[in-house]
Structure 1
Amino acid sequence: MSDTAVLVIDMMNTYRHPDAEKLVPHVAEIIDPLAGLVAEARDRDDVDLIYVNDNYGDFTAEFSDIVQSALQGERPDLVEPIVPQKGCRLMTKVRHSAFYATALAYLLGQLKPERVILTGQVTEQCILYTALDAYVRHFPVVVPPDAVAHIDPELSDAALTMMKSNMSAEITPAAKCLQ
């Protein structure tokens, strides 16, 4: 059992998609705080680090294939600092929520974290929907705004407000998440 589960959502990305031009600058802003949080999570016994990534419609891809594609994509500098290390928990997803059609709810049920920290991309899509699914499953949610990237700043602000107001999410900087 762990005190905390840190989810890294959809960060293994080639940045070869229609929204990449809008997304990349915001990912660049979060990579240092996110990499710091990931590094701290790796070093702690009371934290479970879980990577959940879209399979981009390739149902034959192993997680390692997704990582390799991302490292060979347009912005490997946004992937390298947070690449999963051997022994990390990994799972692929097919839609916005990290819970949808994955074993995440079961895994978290076994780990019994006191809170779930959501990081990654995209705030107004995958992070928001994962937060809602965590909330309805009674997992306390934490979102570090400096460790989630968005496409649309206004929608991101609205999503963070919704998570805080409607889901009782704690909104706190990445550096303070594991204190």
Structure 2
Amino acid sequence: MSDAPNLSDDDEKGCHHALLIIDMINGFDFPDGERLRPQAEAVAEPIAALAARARAAEVPVIYVNDNFGRWRSDFRRVIKHVRAHTPGAAIAERLAPQERDYFVLKPRHSGFLGTSLEVLLGHLKTRCLILTGIAGDLCVLFTAVDAYMRGYELRAPGDCIASVDEANNRRALELLRESMRVDTSPAESIDLRRES
């Protein structure tokens, strides 16, 4: 009998939900990064709590993260760089991925554009995406639009989404609610129980 980990993900296949953590593993070493970092720090704790609940409920946790133009990198190298050398180290430490989490590197704003996210979600038989992360008015919003066009049910807990400008963040959440019927209630209201 082998002690090797099960890489088939059979335990999570068929789960109704998936939690997406968008761009939170981030160095914040870009224009407006210093303005965004305090907002990201404020949402890191509720995201971490939601991720812990998701893992306990065997809901897949998927890190959807910029590749920062580093085409030869992988997600573990991105994490290592952020934790060792950037102002985002404390957030990356707080939101450190666990062994069974998934990773999708994205080249642009949407988590779907040019990535394997849709194939992964199909493999997991996911129907509802819980969107968290930064920036609410860019990457989270564009990922939500692409998910909406693909027919996913969406949740976007307002206490888990941040933008550089708070007014823009509020407008993005309003757009999600009004145009795509996205529930933006706080993370603690999300029921992560599996459906049979």
Which category describes the TM-score, using the shorter chain as reference length?
A: over 0.9
Give CA-to-partner distance per residue, 1:16-74, whole Å, 9 cap, x none: 111112101111111111110011111112x1111111000001001101101111211
Say whether the 8 Å CA contact 2:23–2:133 is kept in structure 1. Answer: yes
Q: How many pairs are equivalent?
A: 178
TM-score normalized with structure 1 length: 0.95
Q: 1:15 corresponds to which residue?
A: 28
Q: 1:58 corresponds to which residue?
A: 70
Q: 1:43 corresponds to which residue?
A: 56
Which among 176, 181, 184 is matched to residue 163 of structure 1? 176
Gaps of 5+ in 1: none
Question: Which piece of structure 1 moves more, 106-115 or 155-164?
Answer: 106-115
Percent of aligned pairs with the same residue? 35
Measure how far apart 1:110 and its partner are.
Answer: 2.3
Partners of 2:30 and 2:61 in 1: CA distance: 27
For the pair shown, which has the larger CA radius of gyration, 1 or 2? 2
1:83 and 2:101 aligned: no
Question: Which piece of structure 1 moves more, 66-75 or 129-138?
Answer: 66-75
Gaps of 5+ in 2: 1-13
Measure how far apart 1:75 and its partner are.
Answer: 3.1
**Secondary structure at 1:12 match in 2:** coil
Q: 2:83 corresponds to which residue?
A: 71
One-letter identity of the residue aligned with 2:162: A
**Secondary structure at 1:42 match in 2:** helix
Partners of 2:190 and 2:24 in 1: CA distance: 19
Stretches of 4+ moved more than 6 A in 1? none
Measure how far apart 1:168 and its partner are.
Answer: 1.2
Give CA-to-partner distance per residue, 1:73-120, whole Å, 9 cap, x none: 113211111111112111100000000101111211222223100011
